[in-house]
Amino acid sequence: MSLLAANLLHYGFMRRALLAAVLVGLAAPAVGIFLVQRRLALIGDGLGHIAVTGVALGLVLNRAPVPIALVTAVVGAVAVELIRARGEQSAEIALAILFYGGIGGGVVLVSQAPSGTRSLNQYLFGSISTTTSGDLRTFAILAAIVMVVAVGLGGALFSVSNDDEFARASGLPVMRLNLLLASLSAFTVVVSMRVVGVLLVSALMVVPVAAAQLVARSFRMTFVIGIAIGVTVSLAGVLVSYYADTPSGGTIVLLAIAVFALLLIAKNIGRLLRRA
């Protein structure tokens, strides 16, 4: 097995894919836990849709799509938060238009790109062979920012996600914290671009956290277990993807769902046994 691992690490693209997997496995649940607690579990999905336009723009302009997607996702995330903050009846529809505009615009744009839709697929659903060293540097910086903020400002992000009315009454800068969380979500979408894909990253924000909360008894424990699950399934997904020749994003998400299902079954068996 270790021989196998040594062989794998011999390939530069595998080293980069595995490192990228660790980064997204760390960042996605670390942000996702606050989104889930805010009952905005699907917002990452919307940001992924918006990022598609950024990726397509990069492909059309024949420039590195990662930085362009980063700008698009952050602008999109801030727009989403500002629309939500207005809290009007029409906010949900405005968000839907933004999200579908993002993916619609992306698909149309990319049809004009020299590389065509084939390369778009890799960004949407992940591919292990595509991570460049430049990408990896960007991912490492973004993931580091995500982790430092999620841990350092964890208390405030928790308060806002848990009860934003109370947070406002306590004098916390709720709007700024929400914009910060939105930006962290956008960063995470970008970190996911290579191995998970922007259309599947939301699953990695939500499913490891959903699995963790089945067994954890506190927010902190959910945070730690969620990240552990995120890193584990990301690494395992990249390896399975290599051997089984499957797209890495889908593989990672299916593994995360499998962990969720196993923990759910284990929890229910445990409950039955305790009752018996």
| 264 lies in the binding site for other proteins (CB under 8 A) | no
Instruction: Indicate the SS3 state at residue 224.
Output: helix
Contacting other proteins (CB under 8 A), which of 2, 6, 171, 272? 171
131-137's contacts with Cβ under 8 Å and 24+ in sequence apart are 131/13, 131/16, 131/17, 131/19, 131/20, 131/194, 131/195, 132/16, 132/64, 133/16, 134/64, 134/66, 135/16, 135/20, 135/64, 135/66, 135/193, 135/194, 136/16, 136/19, 136/20
Stretch that binds other proteins, among 13-21, 114-122, 128-136, 220-228 (CB under 8 A): 220-228
| 92 lies in the binding site for other proteins (CB under 8 A) | no
Q: Which is nearer to other proteins, 71 or 153 (CB)?
A: 153
C-beta of 206: minimal distance to other proteins in Å?
10
Of residues 222-261, those binding other proteins (CB under 8 A) = 222
| 12 lies in the binding site for other proteins (CB under 8 A) | no
| 71 lies in the binding site for other proteins (CB under 8 A) | no
CB atoms within 10 A of CB 85: 13
C-beta of 236: minimal distance to other proteins in Å?
24
Stretch that binds other proteins, among 44-52, 107-115, 161-169, 228-236 (CB under 8 A): 161-169
Q: Which is nearer to other proteins, 35 or 60 (CB)?
A: 35
| 175 lies in the binding site for other proteins (CB under 8 A) | no
Q: Could you give the CA distance from residue 65 to residue 210 in angstroms, rounded to a whole number?
A: 31
Structure tokens at 187: 């960063």
For tokens 């997204």, name the residue: 24
Q: Could you give the CA distance from residue 161 to residue 167 in angstroms, rounded to a whole number?
A: 9
Q: Could you give the CA distance from residue 44 to residue 28 in angstroms, rounded to a whole number?
A: 9
| 72 lies in the binding site for other proteins (CB under 8 A) | no
Q: Which is nearer to other proteins, 136 or 172 (CB)?
A: 172
Contacting other proteins (CB under 8 A), which of 12, 116, 134, 152? 152
C-beta of 218: minimal distance to other proteins in Å?
5
Give the alpha-carbon dihedral of 50, 53, 54, 56, to 10 degrees: 150
Q: Which is nearer to other proteins, 11 or 158 (CB)?
A: 158
Q: Could you give the CA distance from residue 163 to residue 132 in angstroms, rounded to a whole number?
A: 41
Structure tokens at 41: 């579990």
Q: Which residues bind other proteins (CB under 8 A)?
A: 33, 36-37, 39, 41, 152-153, 155-156, 158-159, 161-163, 165-173, 209, 213, 216-222
